[in-house]
Chains A and B, each alone.
Chain A
């Protein structure tokens, strides 16, 4: 499958730190998850791919257009939907007005068609009945959904979502997953999250980032398989484990190199993720 987004050698420095260090990737249709600890560079990568900030070095193309030129950037943005990490709003706007405003900025000029599109997208995120409410009166989860609607409006081919499920209760998160899974059909979605269950359920590919670099690029089963035979349970904390924590039942779950005769457990995506992070210790 030809990649819709292809990046090579992206680097970006903020002061002395390499927020992105020689990142290369290819994205195809479907949902790709981006996992990583805080400070790994996930948000920076998403901002670069969303053309919100240009990289210092390296290049990427989306749908064949190169955003290093102004014209190319316009073309990329016409096919892009972006949900930033802390979305800001005009608090006096209603939900409908705000998504309509973003739709105008996305060059949807025909008023009738645009309003239909805005209504469609607000219904899709389950905000159909609070369309006319002012954003400052909406709850945090509803505001998050307004921002998602703003990203979805105009039916973009490439969706960049930065921690979209923050602030949502489990029921809303389930609904979101459904939305994103639907959006992933026929679109390229890049989704950054801390929730490994989201990745396990949604993504056909996962990238793990740490320290500005991509540490893993593959499918979720491959990431889980990394932890095969390397997860075990014990009654006491095991000092030889890379990471270990106390479970609700009182026993300890450990990830790393198991001692002989250890009680091995079925690995999850999270275990694979933890093993991929270099030297990251998880305190119990």
Chain B
């Protein structure tokens, strides 16, 4: 045994590759992988994708206005946001739950950097939400009947909501390190939403305090030209981004960060959030109100008109691609008519009611101009037979205002013209009537004021639709003048068209 004195070896500095921030990114990647594979995230993602696949094809009956489709992408990511909040919260609390904080707290990577890594781990989930939002919007845009243009700011709301939820989850975990807090905070959030939705007035209806929540929905389903919508989408996106950044930086502060740059960043983020938050609640600009008035009462100043097959179609610039579809319907109906109506020249004008923006839901008044038909911004589904009914009614009555007087046998002709050319006439008859029935009297919807059918007229129309199309069409053309004469009764019309006479008198004949 010999003891040899050796010189103490010189301390060697281990090569720290990359430094602290590289470690933060590496930790963030690790946590992100864990976050995306947790069960609540996978379930939320499955439910979100299922919702996209289920809702997108039928959105606005397959002919979406993209300025509505972008808003439609906002509610799905809320589910991802909920899952991200719970999972990010659980991830930060993991070291407290498993009693590893005593060890981790003294490691090289400080707690505030670990908090920053948790915050960054939420970003891939937000990117995933962004990909899904883009997919959903792209699908809507690729549908053949889509018109209009979407707003990038509206599309950003979904991913920003996910970021905001993640930042909130991490902040809650840093402030109150108990596993109970996040679920209770969500319940508290529900409470505030319910309470303030139920009690506090929403400002002037369109702006106001309702913009403080991440996802602001509209109650109407009428599409408007993009420049008349008046939603402060860009300010709202700025507000959400600023709020998410503020919560994130507060979480880093709560995790122990103390650099003065951090305080400055918090101030900057808060400024962003306040700017966006206050600007978005500002009142509507006067120019917008004036533009809406103009579009509602004198749309001809904003519209472009095209001529197709002898008729003129005037639409707002974003809807001009749809004029061909309208022309197709009008040409079908004209081809079935007889006499001079066969070559009638229509003016199909698109009209909206934008006085209250998206919050309004007023019906459009009938026009008095002869042979002018009103068309709305929606298409597909029930809108097609409604437009057909309006065109047929104007063709027979002369103007939209006179369609109110269509209570006699001319209704039979009008309804047959409107429905017989459709792929499934009986289903279209159901769709165009208010109560979805094929028997009895009912209200018939059209693009402006509705019309009325008696039970007798319904029976006649139903029988006509079930007969071979060609024979009825020949009779209609042959007896056009008698069928469209005022005061013709339904019984006479039925006789002319070769079906059984209806029971009961017409409304006008009473």
Query: Hey, which bits of chain A sit against chain B, CB under 8 A?
Result: 249-250
Chain B residue with Cβ nearest A249: B1
Docked CA distance A249–B2 (Å): 8
Which residues does chain B contribute within 8 Å of A250, judged by CB atoms?
1-2
Q: How big is the B interface, by class?
A: under 10
Residue-wise interface mask of B (1-29) relative to A, using a CB-CB cutoff of 8 A (1 in contact, 0 not):
11000000000000000000000000000
Docked CA distance A250–B6 (Å): 14
Which residues does chain A contribute within 8 Å of B1, judged by CB atoms?
249-250
Query: Nearest 3 CB-CB pairs, A to B?
Result: A249-B1, A250-B1, A250-B2
Identify whether the interface residues of B are mostly helix, strand, loop, or mixed.
loop
Query: Hey, which bits of chain B sit against chain A, CB under 8 A?
Result: 1-2
Docked CA distance A250–B1 (Å): 8
Which residues does chain A contribute within 8 Å of B2, judged by CB atoms?
250
Instruction: Write 3 A-B pairs (CB below 8 A) sorted by A numbering.
Output: A249-B1, A250-B1, A250-B2
Chain B residue with Cβ nearest A251: B1
Which residues does chain B contribute within 8 Å of A249, judged by CB atoms?
1
**Shortest Cβ distance from A9 into chain B, in angstroms?**
36
Docked CA distance A9–B422 (Å): 77
**Shortest Cβ distance from A217 into chain B, in angstroms?**
37
**Shortest Cβ distance from A278 into chain B, in angstroms?**
34
Chain B residue with Cβ nearest A86: B99
Chain B residue with Cβ nearest A248: B1
Docked CA distance A250–B2 (Å): 9
**Shortest Cβ distance from B271 into chain A, in angstroms?**
44
Docked CA distance A249–B1 (Å): 6
**Shortest Cβ distance from A252 into chain B, in angstroms?**
14
**Shortest Cβ distance from B100 into chain A, in angstroms?**
13
**Shortest Cβ distance from A204 into chain B, in angstroms?**
37
**Shortest Cβ distance from A77 into chain B, in angstroms?**
28
**Shortest Cβ distance from A120 into chain B, in angstroms?**
31
Chain A residue with Cβ nearest B2: A250
Docked CA distance A73–B125 (Å): 48
Chain A residue with Cβ nearest B1: A249
**Shortest Cβ distance from B307 into chain A, in angstroms?**
74
Docked CA distance A78–B1 (Å): 57
**Shortest Cβ distance from B363 into chain A, in angstroms?**
66
**Shortest Cβ distance from B227 into chain A, in angstroms?**
61
**Shortest Cβ distance from B17 into chain A, in angstroms?**
26
**Shortest Cβ distance from A249 into chain B, in angstroms?**
5
**Shortest Cβ distance from A230 into chain B, in angstroms?**
25
Docked CA distance A263–B90 (Å): 59
Docked CA distance A249–B3 (Å): 9
**Shortest Cβ distance from A88 into chain B, in angstroms?**
10
**Shortest Cβ distance from A60 into chain B, in angstroms?**
33
**Shortest Cβ distance from B101 into chain A, in angstroms?**
14
**Shortest Cβ distance from B110 into chain A, in angstroms?**
26
Chain A residue with Cβ nearest B4: A250
**Shortest Cβ distance from B6 into chain A, in angstroms?**
12
**Shortest Cβ distance from A124 into chain B, in angstroms?**
28
Docked CA distance A82–B2 (Å): 49
